[in-house]
Chains A and B, each alone.
Chain A
């Protein structure tokens, strides 16, 4: 036997691996027209869990409530004002908890405050919330003040501050409602990044629907008309722009149209559409208003979870990364 050891092992390798090579060389090519490394993901899945989509919802809810509260204050709708001021604070409190709990090192949350970094939407958002929070807090505390304390100097001060505080938070609320779209889109996650032109409108619509729904649930019918209108406009915006995610993002739309993301967003669509109809037709029925409002709140929350899930799925399957990029390279387009 006149063979070098090197050659022997090469032959052995050949026998063992050729059948495997034939099937493994392009493992994913059977499913689509792209190649990958053993069908593995290219990107890392977002490490965020349910806390982040929950925050997207509570943040939007808080912002829309702050808007309604300021308007109710100026147009003398005290019960709508009280409900939405408390809603704005509740949403903000939940948001703060969710954002801190989602950190890998929650005890270091204040490290967010050591820099202000325009290139990081999370840094921008942190400072936006820092500016937004105190006004929401002051307005809500003024509502909660027991009547015996209202006559003290502190009570009088809070009472006088409530309106400017509420207006200040209302001025920042649109930013709070829409920056979260940039937060998601400013990533390499295909389903979020490709949706960058449309996501702000979905999120702003979803926030308005949730805040309007909250007002319909918590305020009596004769004061809730602005809430019903806000809910209707928000819901329609959300429904229309959300549909665009399903259709206009090329292959990435598949992540929105399939799996868990699709189911969540399907339910969101039913509930939001139903809630929108209810907000237009409920009229003076409190019960119908409450049911519609709850449907809108649920629809808004499911929308956020659905969009979040689509993003996660688009990092799990390499096709969402490889196919559009390969197409770009093959066409000779510059990034």
Chain B
């Protein structure tokens, strides 16, 4: 498939090539499998540590175990905690996993199933989506935001002048301006680590491999298999979010396996990059400008009372 450099919507096979790289590594990304997230927040901590991010204030938000609230200029990973009623589910004993916790019974005597309730806890580590068509990148007027050779989207802090356009351009509400600093900040997918062949800090720290890092094509394949496995086990609500190259942003570089609707996790159900409509918006503005000019000329014609 050949894609023009002006492409601003739809599937895109070679996102770095489209940005002008002739030779570049494979596009990489995150696959965040929320079905195995245990809410430990090691990703949040590792991200803060590696990227030297300031704190966001120590607030108790009263939202389950979530005291981060949302992604921000200072929080580039955010673990969401959702407590919700869930239908009781019976599984085969064989599929229940023994965690080997200390107990008064013989280890493994119970399967865990008998303690299951009609309640469930969803946990999900959110992050910048590194969109194929990134709203933030498209609107940045200084070139501070750029597409890396890895297909990710990064802000150059020595260029950003804090115009704030990217903040409103992002259809996921990810990027934000840092109050005391005036510049925009977001996840870089650890651009510095990628350059050295290391995986991003959050993925490195994740103890359950809920956050998986790798070539995007490989992750998409793995994610589809994981969904099929979960569906076989009766977890029919498992679905992928952001993996489809035909979606409103051309597919995310960081996509998710969710167990409920995206909006339950604070994610937009069907985000669209504003650039999709750039052509029609400029066309309408052109019509308005022409009408404005025609009016301005015509008011000087006609009878004059001078």
- Residues of A that sit less than 8 Å from B by CB: 1-7, 10-11, 13-14, 17-18, 20-22, 24-26, 34-38, 40-44, 46-48, 63-64, 67-68, 71-72, 74-75, 102-106, 108-109, 111-112, 114-115, 117, 119-123, 126, 170, 173-175, 177-179, 181-182, 185-189, 192-193, 196-197, 200-201, 203-204, 207-208, 222-223, 225-227, 229-230, 233-234, 237, 284, 315, 318, 321-322, 325-326, 328-329, 334-335
Contact = CB atoms under 8 A, between A and B. Distances in A.
Contacts of B268: 42-43, 321-322, 325
Given A208-B295, A326-B263, A174 B105 contact: no
Contact of A329 (B105, B270, B286): B270
Contacts of B176: 44, 47
B168 A4 contact: no
8 contacts: A21-B119, A38-B63, A112-B163, A119-B138, A173-B296, A174-B296, A182-B285, A188-B274
Contact of A186 (B164, B274, B305): B274
Interface string B111-153: 0100101010100000000000001001111111000000000
Given A111-B144, A174-B290, A322-B269, A42 B173 contact: yes
B162 A108 contact: yes
A229 B284 contact: no
A84 B76 CA distance: 50
Q: What are the nearest 6 A-B pairs in CB distance? A: A104-B162, A104-B182, A37-B266, A335-B248, A4-B103, A200-B288
Query: Chain A contact residues: over half helix, strand or loop, or mixed?
Result: helix
Contact of B296 (A6, A71, A108, A201): A71
Nearest to B10: A335
Interface string B92-103: 000000010111
B304 A225 contact: yes
B168 A187 contact: yes
A178 B173 contact: no
A43 B83 contact: no
B18 to A, nearest CB: 12
A120 B48 CA distance: 31
Contacts of A47: 164, 167-168, 176-177
A45 to B, nearest CB: 8
Contact of B266 (A20, A36, A68, A106): A36
Nearest to A203: B288
Contacts of A63: 292
Interface in B250-306: 261, 263-272, 274-278, 280-282, 284-293, 295-297, 299-300, 302, 304-306
Given A37-B265, A115-B141, A193-B274, 15 more contacts: A2-B103, A2-B104, A21-B119, A41-B173, A43-B173, A105-B183, A119-B278, A177-B292, A179-B289, A186-B281, A187-B169, A229-B299, A284-B305, A328-B269, A334-B246
B182 A185 contact: no
Given A2-B104, A38-B63, A222-B306, A178 B274 contact: no
Nearest to B304: A225
B45 interface: no
Given A123-B141, A223-B306, A104 B291 contact: no
A68 B102 CA distance: 85
Contacts of A329: 269-270
B200 interface: no
B228 interface: no
Interface of B: 8, 63-64, 69-70, 80, 82-85, 99, 101-105, 110, 112, 115, 117, 119, 121, 135, 138-144, 159-165, 167-177, 181-184, 246-248, 261, 263-272, 274-278, 280-282, 284-293, 295-297, 299-300, 302, 304-306
B183 A1 contact: no
Contacts of A177: 288-289, 292
B47 to A, nearest CB: 18
Nearest to A227: B299
Given A105-B162, A200-B285, A25 B84 contact: yes
Contacts of B276: 335
Given A112-B161, A122-B141, A25 B82 contact: yes
A173 B297 CA distance: 12
Contact of B261 (A21, A35, A119, A335): A35
Contacts of A43: 168, 170-173, 268
B164 A46 contact: yes
Contact of A188 (B70, B142, B169): B169
Given A21-B84, A47-B164, A112-B142, A6 B99 contact: yes
A8 B164 CA distance: 49
A334 B276 CA distance: 13
A103 B163 contact: yes
B299 A4 contact: no
Contacts of B82: 25, 37
A284 to B, nearest CB: 8
B288 A75 contact: no
A161 B82 CA distance: 67
B63 A325 contact: no
Contacts of A103: 161-164, 182
A246 B293 CA distance: 27
B103 to A, nearest CB: 3
A2 B105 contact: yes
